[in-house]
Amino acid sequence: MAQDIGPEVVAYEIIDFAIPAPLTDVPGDVERGWTIVQNAANATCLICHAMPMPWQPDHGNLAPDLAGVGSRYNAAELRLRLVDPKALNPDTIMPAYYQAQGLNRVQEKYVGQTVYSAQDIEDVIAFLLTLTEE
């Protein structure tokens, strides 16, 4: 029986506090990224970050405001911050959105899965790069 065992995790390389190479061959889709980050059912960034989305209620405030994040970082730097934020700050509360191994007591339905797929990561990066205004 075919079973959803989650996405195959793509290998990546961290160089100079960034991940320069995209995880997929398909360029990030801004619209899709915009939708993904607002998905309340899947660890939306709004839990912790404010974002320039006035229509969304109850933005979290325990992490930096993501307004302007597209001018503070390039795609490679954003990729590391989404894929493996603990590479920058081992104590951070920011979850790794692209990590499936080396975790402790993952809930059964998420075992072996990443929060976002490789393409989701690229789409979210494309969207974050549009947030250029502080």
Q: Three-state DSSP class for 103?
A: coil
* 107: partner contacted, choices another protein, ligand HEC, none (Cβ within 5-8 A by kind): another protein
Q: Whose Cβ is closer to another protein: residue 66's or residue 96's?
A: 96
CA 93 to chain centre: 13
Angstrom distance (rounded) from CA 82 to CA 9: 14
Q: Give which of ligand HEC, another protein, none residue 17 binds (C-beta under 5 to 8 Å, depending on kind).
A: none
Which residue, 13, 4, 12, 6, is CA-closest to 100?
Answer: 6
Residue 32 vs 72, nearer CB to ligand HEC: 72
CB of 23 to another protein, least distance (A): 18
**Beta carbon nearer to another protein, 22 or 114:** 114
Q: Are the beta carbons of 129 and 68 closer than 8 angstroms?
A: no
Shortest Å distance, C-beta 3 to ligand HEC: 26
Cα separation, 2 vs 8, whole angstroms: 15
Q: Binders of another protein: how many residues, by CB under 8 A?
A: 25
Are the C-beta atoms of 63 and 48 separated by less than 8 Å? Answer: yes
User: Is 4 an interacting residue with respect to another protein (CB under 8 A)?
Assistant: no
**Which residues of the shown chain bind another protein in the complex (CB under 8 A)?**
43-44, 46-48, 57-62, 86, 93, 95-96, 99, 103-108, 110, 113, 115
